[in-house]
Amino acid sequence: MAKKPEEYRVPRHVCIIMDGNGRWAKKRLLPRKAGHVQGARVVEQICEDAWNLGIEYLTVYAFSTENWQRPKDEVDALMNLLRKYMKDSLARSSKNNMRVRVLGDISVLDEDLQQSIRELEEASAQNTGLKFQVAINYGGRNEIVRATRKISELVRDGKLSPEDITENTFSEYLDTAGMPDPELMIRTSGELRTSNFLPWQIAYSEFYFTNVLWPDFDKKELENAIDFYNGRERRFGGI
Ligand code: IPE
Ligand code: IPE
Ligand code: MG
């Protein structure tokens, strides 16, 4: 690490676009699903590493509103992985004290998966360790539209006046209500775009792009991203 420890800043909130599972599998002549399986293992490890590095909030993009366009067998494989993940996390979160929440519109997911998500969110709600968010059927534009609908209903019913809609109140209707904005956004696999991930929340985040494929991502890579963040000067429009 280049800087002295006392100057070293660890972001409170890191969000990750976990990309490159398919290419990782292809390189090994494996089915894409194998990349997703390995990717899910990496998520578990990175949760531990993030907490050990002092990160408070970690948010990962697991399935976008656009990912439904993939072939049915891949979508099914991803949903089954998420099913397994929710079940496994129930036991794990009680051991590692992690609080898990899901971002996105889960109402279109299979009923049993919705049920597992609710169970996990409720069971881990009081945990005081890492606050871990998984974005499933998440799209940033969709999130903003859903928030606008909730706000419009309140205005229609006379419970909120248009003048009271500020950036702060608007944030409270997003899926990330109550969470600080991510200081750092990481995307793996060399793609230089944000793919509809947290457009409102990352308005002032630093972006770290790496060519490493998600299934190869590890603690060292996470430290590299935090080193990069430490090299940036955050100005927020000032000089
Ligand atoms: C990211 O890996 C995982 C999901 C989008 C669910 P990809 O499946 O997008 O992997 P590539 O981009 O095809 O390599
Ligand atoms: C973004 O990755 C979505 C997730 C990581 C869940 P994609 O691989 O789906 O994004 P595009 O299609 O390359 O933009
Ligand atoms: Mg991809």
Give me the pLDDT at residue 4, please: 54
Ligand nearest to the CA of 62: 2
Closest residue to atom 10 of ligand 2, CA basis: 195
**pLDDT of 70-80, one tens digit each?**
999 999 999 99
Taking the chain (239 residues) in runs of 10, the rounded mean pLDDT of each run is 69 98 98 98 98 98 98 98 97 96 98 98 98 98 98 98 97 98 98 98 98 98 96 83
pTM of the model as a whole: 0.95
CATH architecture of 13-142+181-229: 3-Layer(aba) Sandwich (3.40)
Give me the pLDDT at residue 50, please: 98
CA–centroid distance, 169 to ligand 2, in Å, is 29
CA–centroid distance, 94 to ligand 1, in Å, is 29
DSSP the chain: --S-GGG----SEEEEE---HHHHHHHTT--HHHHHHHHHHHHHHHHHHHHHHT--EEEEEEEETTGGGS-HHHHHHHHHHHHHHHHHHHHHHHHH--EEEEES-GGGS-HHHHHHHHHHHHHHTT--S-EEEEEEEE-HHHHHHHHHHHHHHHHHTTSS-GGG--HHHHHTTSTTTTSPPPSEEEE-TT----TTSSTTTTTT-EEEE-SS-GGG--HHHHHHHHHHHHHS---TT--
Q: Which entry of 21, 49, 67, 127 is annotated as an active-site residue? A: 67
Closest atom of ligand 2 to CA, residue 135? 6
Closest residue to atom 11 of ligand 2, CA basis: 195
- Told to judge if 80 belongs to the known catalytic residues of this protein, a careful annotator would answer no
- Told to judge if 168 belongs to the known catalytic residues of this protein, a careful annotator would answer no
